[in-house]
Structure 1
């Protein structure tokens, strides 16, 4: 069922209408086929670029839409409701552009950002490593300065779009004490992607390791100064977590819609099963979880748009929304009963896709750590 949204302008309403039409007509009909075939939807990302949806929260000067984060996240929710892999991919691409937008020089932005925002290029965010996931300060990939280049060696893990991306916003260790950020071209000699991971869900979204072997990266691809990498990574994650929250809400909304439609059409004992109190209450709890999760990401986005601190609210939104998606998709399978356990209906795929948002962009256990520390450190 359509979500009634409070939007700040007619332009925002028009953008949401365009997104809804694109998601319904161009994305949703392909989702099950591509996910089952584990096929990466590169052409669909190009379509988003041509439609102006790959750079929504970034400045118009470089090809972005310059829309409030509150609006961008609702666009993201609509896309994820139609096809979660595309929604997550758009969120990752947006986060991959963050470091250049906020920490690059105008010369760097003029050189690389237009192609990144207008759909010619697809990005990935390379922070995690096999032994440094949530503990970002322990990463070991090294970038040694050699004249006007860095020589990069190491392994990155769990990289969304690994092997598919055109550029990687990559956190590397430039000294024993310093972590720095490099914008690395996907075709760099010495950079290779591993075999895609075999995953429970989001099978249309490629996830792979990246191996750097004496990969030479021009020094002008350093974003910010040496040693700023962890600060850049954490600020990127604050915004990226809101993207994942919005995707999770979209997925939960899709599961709720499917469950309601099935409960209205399924008849037992002479009446639709939605009229039985056991199902009514279950569906009501699902709707309350979706609405509550949406409210958390919108609150955080509005704080971000106002220039307020939103780190705690971003972690709250990511925690609440992804836990809600896991619960709502599981309950949707229950509403459909045996049918929900088959691939004839999408809810079993939604349930599988709901698991990993509780893990990436910082596990939900890490979100609790972030929230607790903001409370501890508050004056």
Structure 2
């Protein structure tokens, strides 16, 4: 719906509501005038000793049907005025103090009723406003959840298509590449080769192995379309990923793990989660030359729909991520490193989406970056 159409719709809605309010007020006024006239005629035709003003309470009660909350006080004012006029125009009768007492009681009843009606109407209106606010919030959350799910579906379809394409390309390249690397290795075993030839063969072997590693990472996309979800203690998966990173690190690595003492069980594929966490820690290792990394597991409500779950936080003390790159960091093949493939973080995002979760990144005020890998549970 365009802005103009939305404005026109709201204008028609406002006019319709205003028209209904005016019709209700006109009917109520006509009925009130008739009721006032009947009560007033009765009041002036009975002696002053009777509490002729009490029936005006019905006027106040009639305001319950008005769309205007303040109508109770208007009716009370009208009833009070007619009570006084009725006192002046009624024939004398009864003791003076009884007459004044009856009129005073009538006025008191009119205004007490008006106050009660007004408070009742105010409470109903407040409840309506609260209900409407709650309904809007629920609708907003529902739309946010639906949009998030749609984005996840689109992302899964994109990555699945990309995975199929990558798998086919990698398969076609891998076989001849293995042959090239093997031939280079066999040639290096020959004893009667010159130093220049040996250096050239080593370059071929190293380049081939780098290309093979790149293809291996590309093939990971074809392996995560299907996964085996089962109840898993997440702390053990985190510790396994940390151990793998320590063993593969080429420098001293300090990883601080802050995990809940009580076991946390989630319905996940432990292999995929371990692989995703391994990629996050490896990414932090490359960002922080000192190797000071913190891994945390926290109970966390997802923003937007406040769904309960657990967040795996991976923090480093590196330079952080530039604003220019932070928006592209999960795009496949985007990398700022000379030897990077640009597939590690997209793979992490794919694993998160497959589990109904999400991954995000932000720069920390004290320096470094923080990746949040959120899983429902």
Q: Same fold (TM over 0.5)?
A: no
Higher relative contact order (CA 8 A, sep 6+): 1
**What is the TM-score when the length of structure 1 is the normalising length?**
0.21
Q: Whose helix fraction is larger, Structure 1's or Structure 2's? A: 2
